[in-house]
Structure 1
Amino acid sequence: MLNALEVITTVVVGVMVGVEFSVAFIMNRILDALPEDSGQLGHAHGGRMLGALMPFWYIGSLVLSAIWAAAERHHHDAGLVTAAVGLLIVSVVMSILLLVPINNRNKTWTPDNRPADWKQQLNRWNRYHYIRVAVIIAAFTLLAAALA
C-alpha cells in the first residue's frame, strides 16, 4: 500500500510540475504572441480554467506528500519526503499570498475593463510563477529521489 502511495504521489506532483512548467515556458509565450487582445483574453480564460483546478491539485499534492512523510517517518528517506512537504507548503503559501490575488483580477479582465497596468500585473504574476515552478520542481525531485 505504501508503494502505491509513493508512486501515486510522485506522479500527481510530477504531472502538476509539467502543467506549471508548460504554463510558464510554453503557454504564456504562445498567448503573448497572439495579435491584438487575443493574448490577454487567453490569459483571462486560462486564469479561470486553471484557477479552478490548481487549488485542488496543489492541496492534493501536499496532502498525499504529508501522508507519505507520516507513513515513512522512521525510514531512511523520510527527510527527503519531509523536505518536499515543506516546499509544497511554500508553493501553496506563495500561491495564496502572491499569485491568486493577481489571477483573481486577471480572470475578470476584458479589453474593455482591464486596468492600465494589466501587463505589469501579468509580468509580476509570471515572476512569482517562475519561482513557484522552481519550488515545485525541487519538491518533485526530492519525492523522486525518495522513491528511488
Structure 2
Amino acid sequence: MHNALAIVTVVVVGLLVGVEFAVAAFVNPIIDGLPNNGGLVARTEGARILGKVMPFWYIGSVVLGAIWAVRAWGDAGAGLVVTATALLVLSVLMSIALLVPINSRVAQWTQDSVPADWKQQLGRWDRFHYVRVSVIITAFVLMVVAIA
C-alpha cells in the first residue's frame, strides 16, 4: 500500500508540474502572440477553466503528500517527502496570496472591461507563476528521489 500511495502521489504531482510548466513555457507565450489581443481572450478563458480545476489538484497533491509523509515517518526518504509536501503547501499559499487575486480579476474581464494595465497584470501573474512552477518542480524531484 505504501508503494502504491507513493506512486499515485508522484504521478498526481508530476501531472500538476507538467500542466503548470506547459502553461508557463508554451501555452501562455503562444497565446500571447495571437493577433488582435487574441491572447487576452484565451487568458481570460483559461483563468476561468483552470481557476475551477487547479485548487482541487493543488490541495489533492498536498493531501497525498501529507498522507505519504505520515505513513513514511521514520523510513529512509521521509524527510524528502516532508520537505516536498511543505513546498506544495508553499505553492498553495503563493497561489492564494499572489496568483488567485490576479487570476480572479482576469477571469472577469471582457473585451469591454479590460483595464489599461492588463499586460502588466498578466506579466506579474507570469512572474509569480514561474516561481510557483520552480517550487512544485522541486517538490516533484524530491518525491521522485524519495521513491527511489
Q: TM-score range by the shorter chain?
A: over 0.9
What TM-score, normalized by structure 1, do the two folds share? 0.99
1:39-50 equivalences under 5 Å are 39-50=39-50
Counterpart contact for 1:40–1:110, Cα < 8 Å: no
Match of 1:111 in 2: 111
Q: State the Cα distance separating 1:37 from its structure 2 match.
A: 2.4
Give me the whole-angstrom Cα distance separating, in 2, the residues matched to 1:76 and 1:51: 36
Q: Deviations over 1:2-57 (max 9, x none)?
A: 11000000000000000000000100011111011211000000001111000000
Match of 2:142 in 1: 142
Match of 1:64 in 2: 64
Q: Deviations over 1:42-92 (max 9, x none)?
A: 000000111100000000000000000000111011100000011001000
Q: Number of matched residues?
A: 148
Match of 2:126 in 1: 126
Match of 2:7 in 1: 7
Give me the whole-angstrom Cα distance separating, in 2, the residues matched to 1:139 and 1:89: 10
Name the amino acid aligned to 1:90: L
Secondary structure at the counterpart of residue 107 of structure 1: helix
Name the amino acid aligned to 1:109: W
Counterpart contact for 1:37–1:111, Cα < 8 Å: no
Q: Which runs of 4+ in 1 moved over 2 A?
A: none
Match of 2:19 in 1: 19
Secondary structure at the counterpart of residue 108 of structure 2: coil
Name the amino acid aligned to 2:115: P
- In structure 1, list runs of 5 or more residues that go unmatched: none
